[in-house]
Copies of this chain bind each other. A is one copy, B any other.
Amino acid sequence: MRIGAIEAGGTKFVCAVGSRNGEILERSSFPTTTPDETLDQVEAFFREHQVERLGVGAFGPINLRTVSEQYGTIGNTPKMAWRNFPLLQNLRSRLEIPVFIDTDVNVASLGEYNYGVAKDAGSCLYITVGTGIGAGFVQNGNIFQGYDHSEMGHILIQKHPEDDFEGACPSHRICLEGLAAGPAIEARYGKKGMELADQNNVWELEAYYLAQAIMNYFVILSPEKIIIGGGVMKQDKLYPMIRKQFMNLLNDYIEVEDVNQLIVAPELKDNQAVKGAIALTLQD
């Protein structure tokens, strides 16, 4: 069976065709402009490369309450052209095949769970640290969802006593995203993370915030694997720093057999979301 996958991101739509085992056969991407323009290209891609079903990992917020009439509709995004756009319904009527949808980060988590670093675990939390911060939790093969999808990047944590940055989240100022996403790093130091690669204190502070967030996710969700990806995590030295600060914070309250196996990098490079979108079409 040929399965279609879309990673519907804020800057580009990645379209792919894959097989049931997660192998990617075709892949192409189109800039995210207006819904009409972008989805015409998406439709053309899937007319050329026929698939039997389609999985979508979408930027948000997006309505994922199956009982709602707005199920699969984009919500209050700053991208005005996409606000209130019925993405799921539009794709269904364009392609006339079964279409499944979830958030980009939930689908990325499902990708690593099925085909990546968590394929032997019973559950995983996938955290992405980039322009924003988001996380998706998969357990026993199912994406966790409450009344609506999680917004885990907006948790509140302790501010470092020597950090006088006022926070970059327009809604919450000093939530996790406001303190630790890429734009927060840039605003705090006046330089992008990449240009600060050799500044140890920058990454110790970043690890301070991410370790706290992971502590909170860990005591609430108790995931078997915690995968951290996204642009900011290209600074590989963050992983050992985060592990160390996390273990200090946890202080043996809950037993962790091997933190190097608990907190890990993703394995699927930039294909988590499309592979997860494939897996999304194969769920019960």
Given A139-B146, A157-B158, A254-B151 contact (CB < 8 Å): yes
* Contact, CB under 8 Å: B216 / A251: no
Once bound together, how far apart are the Cα atoms of A251 and B158, in whole Å?
19
Once bound together, how far apart are the Cα atoms of A220 and B146, in whole Å?
8
* Contact, CB under 8 Å: A174 / B156: no
* Contact, CB under 8 Å: B172 / A147: no
List the B side residues contacting A220 at CB < 8 Å.
150, 152, 155, 216-217, 220-221
Task: Judge if A39 is at the interface, Cβ distance under 8 Å.
Answer: no
Once bound together, how far apart are the Cα atoms of A251 and B171, in whole Å?
6
Once bound together, how far apart are the Cα atoms of A249 and B67, in whole Å?
28
Task: Judge if A258 is at the interface, Cβ distance under 8 Å.
Answer: no
Task: Judge if A145 is at the interface, Cβ distance under 8 Å.
Answer: yes
List the B side residues contacting A221 at CB < 8 Å.
146, 150, 220
Once bound together, how far apart are the Cα atoms of A251 and B212, in whole Å?
22
Given A171-B251, A172-B251, A223-B147 contact (CB < 8 Å): yes
Task: Judge if A224 is at the interface, Cβ distance under 8 Å.
Answer: yes
Task: Judge if A50 is at the interface, Cβ distance under 8 Å.
Answer: no
List the B side residues contacting A217 at CB < 8 Å.
220
Q: Main SS of the interface on chain A?
A: loop
| Nearest chain B CB to A214 CB, angstrom units | 10
Task: Judge if A222 is at the interface, Cβ distance under 8 Å.
Answer: yes
* Contact, CB under 8 Å: A172 / B222: no
Task: Judge if A35 is at the interface, Cβ distance under 8 Å.
Answer: no
Contact-residue bracket for chain A: 35 or more
Once bound together, how far apart are the Cα atoms of A122 and B221, in whole Å?
19
* Contact, CB under 8 Å: B150 / A222: yes
Once bound together, how far apart are the Cα atoms of A54 and B146, in whole Å?
29
Using a CB-CB cutoff of 8 Å, which residues 183-220 of chain A contact chain B? Answer: 212, 215-217, 219-220
Can you name the residue of chain B whose Cβ is closest to the Cβ of A223? B146
Task: Judge if A148 is at the interface, Cβ distance under 8 Å.
Answer: yes
Once bound together, how far apart are the Cα atoms of A154 and B220, in whole Å?
9
Task: Judge if A149 is at the interface, Cβ distance under 8 Å.
Answer: yes
Once bound together, how far apart are the Cα atoms of A208 and B139, in whole Å?
32
| Nearest chain B CB to A216 CB, angstrom units | 5
Task: Judge if A252 is at the interface, Cβ distance under 8 Å.
Answer: yes
Q: List 15 A-B contacts (CB under 8 A).
A: A122-B147, A123-B146, A123-B147, A146-B221, A146-B222, A150-B220, A150-B222, A151-B254, A152-B219, A154-B253, A155-B219, A156-B215, A156-B249, A157-B158, A171-B251
- Give me the interface of A with B, judged by CB distance under 8 Å: 122-123, 139, 145-152, 154-159, 171-172, 174, 212, 215-217, 219-224, 249, 251-254
